[in-house]
Amino acid sequence: MHRYYFDHNATTPVSTEVLEAMLPLLTEVYGNASSIHYFGQAARQKLDEARREVAAMLGSSAEEIVFTSGGTEADNLALLGIARQGHAITTAVEHPAVLAAAAQCASMTAVGVDGRGVVDPDEIRRALRPDTKLISVMHANNELGVIQPIQEISRIAREAGVAFHSDGVQAAGKTPIDVSGIDLYTISAHKIYGPKGAGALFVRKGTKIVPQSHGGHHEQGLRAGTENVAGAVGLGRAARWVIECGAEEQAREAALRDRLEQGILDRVRGAHVNGAGAPRTANTTNIRFDGVDSDALLIALDLRGFAVSSGAACSSGATEPSHVLLAIGLTKLEARSSIRFSLGRSNTAEQVDGLIEAVVDSVAHLRKLAPAYA
């Protein structure tokens, strides 16, 4: 049986070009980038090159890139490095890495969103307090693909003299990024066909941030520990691919996503797109199926060879329904009837058509097993 992957928001496979870029760093260029001998300097050169590639994707300078072990560490460094002793403002639909870090601050406010999953910038403005140190609003949502008005929110932060962070883990490679006006921005390699365990935090020059790990003076003193040069190089190469081919791939995936969405809506009654009407990333759709349990549908589709998701991968195994879907006003039952489809480079029109057929058949079968559905 053929297997097809429609869960690219959870993770992506390492691409050929990334693997080729990383291999020499695992075998030949093995020096510690802090060593001053030939081997160390060869590694330093590769690290500097990777930093420039990541900076080019974000439109920043290389000195503003801090390499981390991934998105979660970068989010924690941003929130706790700025607001641990103060008040942080965030939204109800953030990734757990942001929500859990914000909960460690002296105080936090999680602003609600509308029925599409979009936050109102005026609500952010109203949440400001004299002790507010940081506003953190994600660029794109991992479950809905909904894009937030981060430039507008960054202006509010600037006027208030408050630092602004955006979690861009699900935006990189899926929508254009412009960090002008943003103080801190998070990315993760494994969401853009790079390796797991590598990420970066953009820190605007002049932003006062307290390191959260202690030891050596690596990464401009913001992140102690010997650099994962191979991981950084993988992230850099993945970023270069986004610069060179990203726009074209986004257009291709958007067409496939629309084909999938329309095909399902046309053929399955009681199907609804969560986040419809909001600007969304090109590759993501989250669809609710009345009277169908999402886990049962996920298993049915997996048995037919299609990998999809019923929420954020970091929440798998959780018995509670998605906090994102509850935040947009769905009931627990509706939230438990929703499936996320996230497309990527390997997906084709033929695979999409096959997935539509599998969804149509699986939903019909599951509804037959639960005749209470009307």
Per-residue pLDDT reduced to its tens digit, 52-71: 999 999 999 999 999 999 99
Percent of the chain with pLDDT over 70: 97
Of 278, 284, 340, 312, give the one whose Cα is nearest residue 119.
Answer: 278
pLDDT digit string, tens, across residues 303-319? 999 999 986 555 445 56
Let me know whether 227 and 255 are in one domain.
no
pLDDT band with cut points at 50, 70 and 90 for residue 209: very high
Among 143-152, 163-172, 214-223, 270-279, which stretch is predicted with the lowest mean pLDDT? 214-223
Let me know whether 268 and 233 are in one domain.
no
Measured between alpha carbons, how far is 184 from 204 in angstroms, rounded to an integer? 6
Measured between alpha carbons, how far is 360 from 300 in angstroms, rounded to an integer? 11
Say if 51 falls within a structural domain.
Answer: yes
Residue 245: active-site member: no
Measured between alpha carbons, how far is 83 from 105 in angstroms, rounded to an integer? 6
Let me know whether 71 and 155 are in one domain.
yes
Say if 374 falls within a structural domain.
Answer: no
Domain holding 312: CATH number? 3.90.1150.10
Let me know whether 222 and 265 are in one domain.
no
Say if 373 falls within a structural domain.
Answer: no
Let me know whether 210 and 305 are in one domain.
no
Of 252, 259, 250, give the one whose Cα is nearest residue 279.
Answer: 250
Domain boundary (195, 210, 242) is at: 242
- CA distances from residue 336 to 260, 267, 298 in whole angstroms, order as listed: 21, 21, 11
Let me know whether 261 and 288 are in one domain.
yes
Give the type of residue at 313.
A
Range of the domain at 107: 16-242
Domain boundary (242, 263, 290) is at: 242
Task: Given the residues 23, 299, 314, 326, select the one marked as catalytic.
Answer: 314
Angle at 33 between CA 32 and CA 39, to 5 degrees: 65
Let me know whether 23 and 103 are in one domain.
yes
pLDDT band with cut points at 50, 70 and 90 for residue 372: low
Core vs surface per residue 295-331: b (16+ CB within 10 A) or e? ebbbebbeebebebbbbbeebeeeeebbbbbbbbebe
DSSP class of residue 7 equals B
Measured between alpha carbons, how far is 177 from 365 in angstroms, rounded to an integer? 42
Say if 216 falls within a structural domain.
Answer: yes
Domain boundary (242, 259, 276) is at: 242
Let me know whether 81 and 219 are in one domain.
yes
Residue 180 has pLDDT above 60, yes or no: yes
Say if 23 falls within a structural domain.
Answer: yes
> HSE (CB half, 13 Å, CA atoms) of 357?
8
Let me know whether 42 and 185 are in one domain.
yes
DSSP class of residue 120 equals P
Say if 77 falls within a structural domain.
Answer: yes
Domain holding 197: CATH number? 3.40.640.10
Say if 137 falls within a structural domain.
Answer: yes
Measured between alpha carbons, how far is 210 from 214 in angstroms, rounded to an integer? 10
Let me know whether 41 and 104 are in one domain.
yes
Let me know whether 262 and 236 are in one domain.
no
Q: Tell me, what's the pLDDT at 317?
A: 53
Angle at 47 between CA 42 and CA 51, to 5 degrees: 150
Crossing angle for the helix pair 16-27 and 229-267, to the nearest 10 degrees: 160
Number of domains in the chain: 2
Let me know whether 178 and 225 are in one domain.
yes
Say if 372 falls within a structural domain.
Answer: no
**Alpha-carbon torsion angle 251, 257, 262, 267, nearest 10:** 150
Evaluate whether 224 touches 67 at the Cβ level (below 8 Å): no
Give the contacts of 331 (CB within 8 A, at least 6 positions apart): none
Crossing angle for the helix pair 349-369 and 229-267, to the nearest 10 degrees: 60
pTM exceeds 0.85: yes
